[in-house]
């Protein structure tokens, strides 16, 4: 359901929060555009490469457990990266049914040419535990207060403009 109640005069704290979010959103959009223009890769692909590069090789099942991605989404991302020569997959020597993924020399070269930015930076850059806890709480609150719960954690629940219920689509369905 779409919330249609408007707030005519937001509080100063609300304006400050909106501006902070807008600043973060613009910065992330600029980084994504930079990555696309300079490498042809998405931010998600670069982040996956950075995580894969942390070890000699990962079992795909272990990588899935570490990331908050649907298994099919991760498999597709790895296939695209492999198609570009940035990672390679191979059967696991101990269990041929399992696959392992590793970064290639081209993948390492790509990572060395890029700045370490975005959430993946937290994997290697020290930060105070209290700051990380505050950040996690802030992002959780943002999801809740922005009304984004229907779009998180369940990729099958992604709503498109044609599936979002608005007052006009509700009225149209009621007439049918």
Q: How far apart are CA 36 and CA 107, in angstroms?
A: 15
Ranges of beta strands (E only) in the chain are 58-59, 87-91, 99-103
Domains of the chain, residue spans: 11-125, 126-176
- Specify which residues 91 forms β-bridges with: 99
- pTM (predicted TM-score): 0.73
Sheet containing strand 99-103, edge to edge, reads: 58-59, 99-103, 87-91
- 36 Cβ contact list (under 8 Å, min separation 6): 42
CATH class given for the domain over 11-125: mainly alpha
pLDDT at residue number 6: 66
Q: Is the distance from CB of 98 to CB of 91 less than 8 angstroms?
A: yes
Q: What is the pLDDT of residues 60-106, one digit of tens each?
A: 989 988 887 888 889 999 999 999 999 999 998 888 788 999 999 99
């Amino acid at each position: 359901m779409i919330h249609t109640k408007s707030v005519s005069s937001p509080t100063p704290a609300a304006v400050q929060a909106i501006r902070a979010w807008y600043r973060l959103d613009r910065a992330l959009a600029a980084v994504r555009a930079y990555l696309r223009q300079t490498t042809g890769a998405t931010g998600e692909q670069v982040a996956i490469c950075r995580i894969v590069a942390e070890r000699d090789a990962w079992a795909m099942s272990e990588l899935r457990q570490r990331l908050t991605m649907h298994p099919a989404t991760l498999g597709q991302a790895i296939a695209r990266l492999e198609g570009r020569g940035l990672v390679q997959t191979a059967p696991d020597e101990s269990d041929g049914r399992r696959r392992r993924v590793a970064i290639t020399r081209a993948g390492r070269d790509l990572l060395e040419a890029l700045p370490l930015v975005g959430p993946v930076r937290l994997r290697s850059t020290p930060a105070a535990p209290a700051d990380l806890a505050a950040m996690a709480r802030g992002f959780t609150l943002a999801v809740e207060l922005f009304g984004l719960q229907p779009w998180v954690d369940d990729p099958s629940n992604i709503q498109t403009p044609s599936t979002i219920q608005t007052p006009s689509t509700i009225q149209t369905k009621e007439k049918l």
